[in-house]
Amino acid sequence: MTPPNTDVIPAPLSVETGDGQGFLLDAGTGIEAGPGTEQVARWLRATVGAATGLPLDPHTGDARRVRLGILPALGGPEAYRLTADAERVLIEGASPAGLFWGAQTFRQLLGPDAFRRAPVTRRQEWEVPAVAIHDAPRFRWRGLMLDVARHFMPKEGVLRYLDLMAAHKLNVFHFHLTDDQGWRIRIERHPRLTEIGSWRARTKTGHRASPLWEEKPHGGYYTQDDIREIVAYAAERHITVVPEIDVPGHSQAAIAAYPELGNTDVIDTDALPVWDTWGINPNVLAPTDTTLRFYEGVFEEVLELFPSEFVHVGGDECPKDQWRRSGTAQARIRELGLADEDELQSWFIGHFDAWLAARGRRLIGWDEILEGGLAKGAAVSSWRGYAGGIAAARAGHDVVMCPEQQVYLDHRQAPGPDEPVPIGWVRTLEDVYRFEPVPPELTPEEARHVLGTQANVWTEVMEDHARVDYQTFPRLAAFAEVAWSDLPAPAERDFTAFEHRMAAHYRRLDALGVAYRPPAGPLPWQRRPGVLGRPKDGPPPSR
């Protein structure tokens, strides 16, 4: 049959509509939960049940039902199949993860009000159209990076973003926990990291060239129980949390807490505060055994909290000037027989690559870890365009594509003067929809190293969750379709059809309380007049 118009986002692999009546969900509808599906049944009762006011009790007798099952033969581990007719809805997944994504599609088919937390309608029946959907994701890594170091997001906000990710079938949450402006995770053996490093005395408002300051302390951190809760909450939604602990750059908050971590023979590290502005910070970690042992202790606690395969170590934007002037750093270069400071950073990253590998984990870092030689087994987050990812894939390393020119969601969404704190290039909803994660330069063998893709949300100019929502949505919906769906080449993608489906999706976002950017432009309270940004003119570089 010809696939109908469907408002499901991301677009399924195949959709067929039936000729008969759809399925009516009502007070008598039960859930038949096959083996291994109980968690999804509980999720449906907690979400769809709350929105509709229907009990969705366990199925008994001959009542019409929503049947859940695991069917590994469906295909890849996240594949699912959803069929609906007048008698039942059948949702089958190749695994519990696939089943969960099928349940997300079921929720979308019920309509936008199914995304509310309590009923807003008195209707007694909710209809799912007669339909047969078969679906599976294109990529195994469909990520969102959230920076909570620059502006802290309290735990309940993080849990909310995990729900928003799940609603868009995203499955990797890259949790950027440390930077110059704040350390956000409690480390029991190093308590000053949060006692001192988790807050700053004031904050730059806008771009670093702005004359404006918010003259009040800003901070916050997650206890280890908070982290356990976040990780468990994510796991229930089949989302993996990948923590990022930045080394050796972006580390002034840690040095402010423990001055011995810095290059003490070059600067007075005792005088360094947690940084209150933005940009590339010159104060980096000293390449000493003291620093290595300190961060091994940090990572030991991190590994206890995060069961993820990958651990992100940053590795980006590490100025080498202090190492060039440091006798200690130069002695370490000579001791190791290294050529220069780039190789010293490679040695630093390589140490933690080996350390993590010995504990059954894998290191991933920003594409600067390529400089001076890439650690064996390390994976790369390619952010400075595609070049780093191409080089890494050709060298046999796994890659996550997240080029700033395409999927940095802190970049402005339109060229108009009302865009709040305009940063970077214009990246419209359509621009994100036409992003292609796999560079055409790669051979099929090399392309297999592209694990997937990720959208990054850096929060220097996002002071609260409403600003994060505005920058992230609706573009995250377009990104989710790029990451999940089997789309044609960028120029051939039907953006008009996507916009049509977005008409329904905006109503879902409304029900979820997302403060997205409206298609017509920012609402008055979403603007930030007079706050300096740093817009870049013209189209971004293609590579």
DSSP classification of residue 540: P
pLDDT tens per residue, range 278-291 = 999 999 999 999 99
Residue 307, pLDDT above cutoff 80? yes
3-state secondary structure of 237: coil
One-letter amino acid of 232 = A
- Out of 14-23, 25-34, 94-103, 142-151, least confident range: 14-23
Residue 123, pLDDT above cutoff 80? yes
One-letter amino acid of 378 = A
Instruction: Output the pLDDT for position 143.
Output: 98
Residue 542, pLDDT above cutoff 80? no
pLDDT tens per residue, range 503-517 = 999 999 999 999 999
Residue 151 exposed, middle or buried by CB count within 10 Å (0-12, 13-18, 19+) = buried
**Domains of the chain, with CATH numbers?**
14-135 (3.30.379.10), 141-486 (3.20.20.80)
What are the backbone dihedrals phi and psi of residue 486, each rounded to the nearest 5 degrees, phi first?
A: -85, 80
pLDDT tens per residue, range 344-366 = 999 999 999 999 999 999 999 99
Out of 127, 301, 317, 343, the active site residue is 317
**Can you read off the two tokens belonging to residue 312?**
């992100």
What are the backbone dihedrals phi and psi of residue 264, each rounded to the nearest 5 degrees, phi first?
A: -70, -20
Instruction: Output the pLDDT for position 277.
Output: 98
pLDDT class of 61 with cuts at 50, 70, 90: confident
**Can you read off the two tokens belonging to residue 122?**
């008195």
Q: Calculate mean pLDDT across residues 300-304.
A: 98
Q: Is 61 left (phi over 0), alpha (psi -120 to 50) or beta?
A: left
Instruction: Output the pLDDT for position 4.
Output: 36
Q: Which residues contact 177 (CB under 8 A, 6 or more apart)?
A: 148, 149, 183, 184, 185, 222, 243, 244, 245
Q: Calculate mean pLDDT across residues 254-259.
A: 98
Instruction: Output the pLDDT for position 6.
Output: 61
Check if the beta carbon of residue 285 is closer than 8 Å to that of residue 329.
Answer: no
Q: Calculate mean pLDDT across residues 429-438.
A: 98
Residue 414, pLDDT above cutoff 80? yes
Helix segments in 69-191, DSSP class H: 96-109, 155-167
d(CA 227, CA 186): 9
pLDDT tens per residue, range 158-175 = 999 999 999 999 999 999
The size of the chain, in residues, is 543
Residue 273, pLDDT above cutoff 50? yes
**Can you read off the two tokens belonging to residue 221?**
């951190």
d(CA 302, CA 361): 12
Q: Calculate mean pLDDT across residues 18-26.
A: 90
DSSP assignment string, 303-360 = HHH---SEEEEE--S---HHHHH-HHHHHHHHHHT-SSHHHHHHHHHHHHHHHHHTTT
- Tell me the CB-side half-sphere exposure of residue 322, using CA atoms within 13 A: 21
From 536, 279, 291, select the one nearest 425 (Cα to Cα): 536
Check if the beta carbon of residue 145 is closer than 8 Å to that of residue 457.
Answer: yes
DSSP assignment string, 476-508 = HHHHHHHHHS----GGG--HHHHHHHHHHHHHH
Task: Report the number of secondary-structure helices (H) and strands (E) in the chain.
Answer: 17, 24
Tokens 């989710």, located at residue: 480
Helix 224-236 vs helix 289-305: crossing angle, to nearest 10: 50
Q: Pairing mode, if any, of strands 141-147 and 450-457?
A: parallel
pLDDT tens per residue, range 230-248 = 999 999 999 999 999 999 9
Check if the beta carbon of residue 357 is closer than 8 Å to that of residue 363.
Answer: yes
463 is catalytic: no
d(CA 451, CA 402): 11
d(CA 53, CA 364): 44
Instruction: Output the pLDDT for position 47.
Output: 98
Residue 458, pLDDT above cutoff 70? yes
Query: What does each C-alpha distance from 209 to 204, 264, 529, 540 come to in angstroms?
Result: 9, 29, 16, 22
Q: Pairing mode, if any, of strands 379-382 and 362-366?
A: parallel
Q: Calculate mean pLDDT across residues 398-406.
A: 97
Average pLDDT value over all residues in the chain: 96
What are the backbone dihedrals phi and psi of residue 241, each rounded to the nearest 5 degrees, phi first?
A: -95, 120
Q: Calculate mean pLDDT across residues 79-84.
A: 98
